[in-house]
Amino acid sequence: MSKGNAIGLFFLGIFVIFFPQIVTDNYILTVGIFIGINALVAMGLSILMGYAGQISLGQAGFYGLGAYVSAILSLKFGLPVPISVFISILTASLIAVILAIPSLRLKGHYLAVATLGFGEIIHIILNEWGPGGPSGFGDIPPFSIFGYTLRSTVEYFYLIWMFIILAMTFSLNLIHSLTGKALRAIHDSELASVTLGINITKLKIKVFVLSSIYASLAGALYAHYVTFLSPSGFSLFYSILILMVVVIGGMTNIWGAIAGAIIITILPEILRGFKEIDILIYGLILTFCLLFMRKGIVPLFIEIWEKRIKK
Amino acid sequence: MILEINNVSKSFGGIKALKNINFSVKEGEIHALIGPNGAGKTTLLNIISGIEKMDSGDIRFKNISIKGIPPHKRAALGIARTFQNLEIFGNLKVFENILTGLYLKNQKGFLKSGITLKGIDKDLIIQSFSILEYVNLLNKKDELAKNLPVGEQRLLELGRALATDPHLILLDEPAAGLNMRETKNLSQLIQKIRDEKAITILLVEHDMELVMGISDMITVLNFGEVIAEGEPLMIQKNPSVISAYLGED
């Protein structure tokens, strides 16, 4: 990890610790939790797109799988929550491997097509066979560990942002390792990477599995925080939303996942005052971002910052 | 013999790009592969590095058949290459391009990379600098590779290939787009690689001055067939080579 990133993580940690002490408003903390959940899903997609050069349109599938598997295991089978979360992550990563092996062996964007189909299949399965069908089910046990049950919003805020910091640390370590350079190489030229002895299929599969782990973890945390699940939150729309988070934040920088999640999550809340034209303004702002900030917000700010230093 | 090409054939649709190619490359030599455009030289390099599959025949590297071995494993066996249409990693810095070559022999697991805080070993960074020094690019180490001029990008590709610690380097038109001074430096560098590092070189090149100046052996291809083989002086006098290049009267 580079110095700048280590300092960034340190300040993020400080911020996370003190934020709920200063801002005690439950509504704002709830928004903070949803920013965290979206950022965690986006982080995986960001590495997949920015480093392995692959697009997934099915992150909602892993997110939904994580949520439903963990919820069902803890509610219907009485498993302790940490174990049900763990099994849900395992399930998602296993499915990721099965999806990735055939689609990543081929050149091109077969993964995007495969994951698009996968996401839809999961959505249909949740609708048809999920407990409660389209209307969903509740009474999911809250998150508890070593006999302590998390109840307040503040506790969930800490729990989710702790996972963000852990995932961030892992991702930054990976990106700044030799393996990270190999991943960037794959993004620039697969042909050259192969002739340098980089097993690109294997690396791409691993990154995809990592993205499924982040997404399913986020889904499981969501399930035990909200304690109610219905399939509507796990449709293609959510996959596209996460894609937006990554693109707006900037896919060449992992911090973009957090920046993008802040913008995409807060924007509808701010625009609520505009009533029925909110979606119009939402669309306009996003279009503006895509037109004038092609690389995304974080890389753009870094560019401006570096130019100022040079002056 | 470090590399043996036995009866290799390849066709694209109805066009026979390579017809029963036979030749061998001796260890420690600079072996040039020349011929007019469309003779099948790049196709043959692609087949040797495993990017394309041959229809029939066999290729032996260090007395082992490498038929059917995927390209990344061929790199691990010791075959490196550069590209006619440059394939540098433009968004990486110059020294990071070299690091991608060092990845082959210094890689750690995916999980281990994620839990190791200290990043890339100092030793590897130093190693990448010394390779850059070898190819005369050390002063550009922190630049983005895409900002280098073509001549330096070619040197960078060569340095990146050297970083994989190969026994054989396939050079695909390394002098294309270089000026005379750059070509001269390149020819000295290629000779230095052969003499100091004992790396065998298979060179595809159109610049005849360069080819005749540094090659130990030359194989001439025309329309997918070997039409001549020998030392530079013999090739220059060979009538079928002359007619292949200049056309017959």
Assigned domain for A291 exists: no
Radius of gyration of chain B (CA): 19
For A83, the domain range is 3-235
pLDDT at A82: 92
Asked if A178 and B124 come within 8 Å (Cβ–Cβ), the reply is yes
Query: How much of chain A, in percent, has pLDDT values that exceed 90?
Result: 51
Chain A residues within an 8 Å CB radius of B162: none
Pair B69, B125: CB distance under 8 Å: no
Q: Give B163 or B106, the one with higher predicted confidence.
A: B163
Smallest Cβ–Cβ distance between B75 and the set A2, A170, A197 belongs to A197
On whether the CB atoms of residues A85 and A219 are closer than 8 A, the answer is no
B110 → closest Cβ in A179, A185, A191: A179
Q: Establish if A13 belongs to a structural domain.
A: yes
pLDDT band at B62 (very low <50, low <70, confident <90, very high): very high
Picking from A127-136, A155-164, B42-51, which range would have the lowest pLDDT averaged per residue? A127-136
What's the rounded mean pLDDT across residues A27-35? 93
CB B127 within 8 A of CB B102: yes
What does the alpha-carbon distance between residue A40 and residue A149 come to, in Å, rounded to a whole number? Answer: 23
Contacts (Cβ under 8 Å, ≥6 apart) of A145: A81, A82
Q: Count other Cβ atoms within 10 Å, centred on residue A266.
A: 15
B131, B106 Cβ separation under 8 angstroms = no
Number of domains in chain A: 1
Q: What is the dihedral of CA B221, B88, A108, B18, to 10 degrees?
A: 0
Q: What is the mean pLDDT of residues A126-134?
A: 88
Asked if residue A158 has pLDDT above 80, the reply is yes
- For A77, the token pair is 């089978």
Mean pLDDT of A256-276: 87
Non-local CB neighbours of B13 within 8 Å, separated by 6+ positions: none
> Residue A306 above 90 pLDDT?
no
Mean pLDDT, range B179-194, rounded to an integer: 92
| Surface of B (79-98) touching A: CB under 8 A | 80-81, 83, 87-92, 96
Domain residues for the domain of B99 are 3-246
Q: Are the Cβ atoms of A177 and B120 closer than 8 angstroms?
A: yes
Q: Give the tokens for residue A106.
A: 């081929």
Nearest residue in chain B measured CA to CA from A168: B114
Secondary structure letter of residue A260 according to DSSP: H
Q: How large is the greatest C-alpha to C-alpha distance in chain A, in angstroms?
A: 63
Between CA A31 and CA B47 the distance in angstroms is 56
Q: How many domains does chain B have?
A: 1
Query: Does B127 contact A at CB distance below 8 Å?
Result: no
| Better pLDDT: A69 or A252 | A69
Three-state DSSP class for residue B247: coil
Lowest mean pLDDT among A82-86, A135-139, A209-213, B81-85: A135-139
- A 10 A CB-CB count for A22 gives 7
Compute the nearest-CA separation of B99 from chain A (Å): 7
Average pLDDT estimate for A185-201: 92
Helices vs. strands in chain B: H and E counts, helices first: 10, 10
Tell me how far apart the alpha carbons of residues A247 and B134 are, in angstroms, rounded to a whole number: 40
Report residue B116's pLDDT band, with 50, 70 and 90 as the boundaries.
confident
- B contact test, residue of A97, A169, A174, A181 with most B CBs within 10 A: A181
Q: Look at strands B3-12 and B56-61 and give their pairing.
A: antiparallel
Q: How many CB pairs lie under 8 A apart between chains A and B?
A: 115
Q: Is B51 on the interface with A (CB under 8 A)?
A: yes
> Is the entire prediction scored with pTM above 0.80?
yes
Q: Is residue A149 part of a domain?
A: yes
Q: What is the pLDDT of residues B198-208, one digit of tens each?
A: 999 999 998 88
Give the span between the Cα atoms of A52 and A68, in whole angstroms.
28
Residue A38 belongs to some domain of the structure: yes
Residue A218 pLDDT > 90: yes
Q: Which residues of B touch A199 (CB under 8 A)?
A: 72
Q: Quick one: which H or E segment has residue A87?
A: helix A81-105
A181/B101 CB distance under 8 A: no
* pLDDT at B37 exceeding the cut of 90: no
Under a CB-based contact definition with an 8 Å cutoff, are residues B148 and B140 in contact? yes
Q: Does the pLDDT at position A311 exceed 80?
A: no
Please report which confidence band the pLDDT of residue B248 belongs to, taking 50, 70 and 90 as the band edges: low
* CATH number for B168: 3.40.50.300
Of A90-94, A282-286, B31-35, B98-102, where does mean pLDDT reach its minimum? A282-286
Percentage of chain A with pLDDT > 70? 99
d(CA B100, CA B227): 38
Residue A67 resides in a domain: yes
Q: Establish if A285 belongs to a structural domain.
A: no
Task: Report how many helices (DSSP H) and strands (DSSP E) chain A contains, helices first.
Answer: 13, 2
Q: Say whether pLDDT at A293 is over 90.
A: no
Is the CB of A185 inside 8 Å of chain B's CB atoms?
yes
Distance CA A76, CA A71 (A): 8
pLDDT band at B14 (very low <50, low <70, confident <90, very high): confident
Average pLDDT over residues A142-150: 84
pLDDT of residue B82: 94
* Whether the Cβ atoms of residue B102 and residue A204 lie closer than 8 Å to each other: no
The reply to whether A288 falls in a domain is no
pLDDT range class, residue B139, cuts 50, 70, 90: very high
Q: How far from A27 is each of A71, A258, A275, B240, CA to CA, in Å? A: 24, 19, 19, 85
Interface probe, candidates B81, B113, B169, B170, chain A, greatest A C-beta count within 10 A: B113
Give the separation between CA B8 and CA B23, rounded to whole angstroms.
10
Q: What is the ipTM of this complex?
A: 0.89
CB contact under 8 A, A170 and B115: yes
- A179:B103 CB<8 A: yes
Residue A1: closest C-alpha in chain B: B119
Q: What is the pLDDT of residue B242?
A: 82
At residue A8, the pLDDT reads 87
Q: Which residues of B touch A181 (CB under 8 A)?
A: 92, 96, 99-100, 103, 120
Buried b (16+ CB within 10 A) or exposed e, B66-105: bbebebbebbbbbbbbbbeebbbbeebbbbbbbbbbbbbe
Most confident of A99-108, A136-145, A171-180: A171-180
* Partners of B204 in beta bridges: B33, B172
Domain assignment of residue A98, yes or no: yes
CA–CA distance, A40 with A219 (Å, rounded to integer) = 10
Residue B249 has pLDDT above 60, yes or no: no
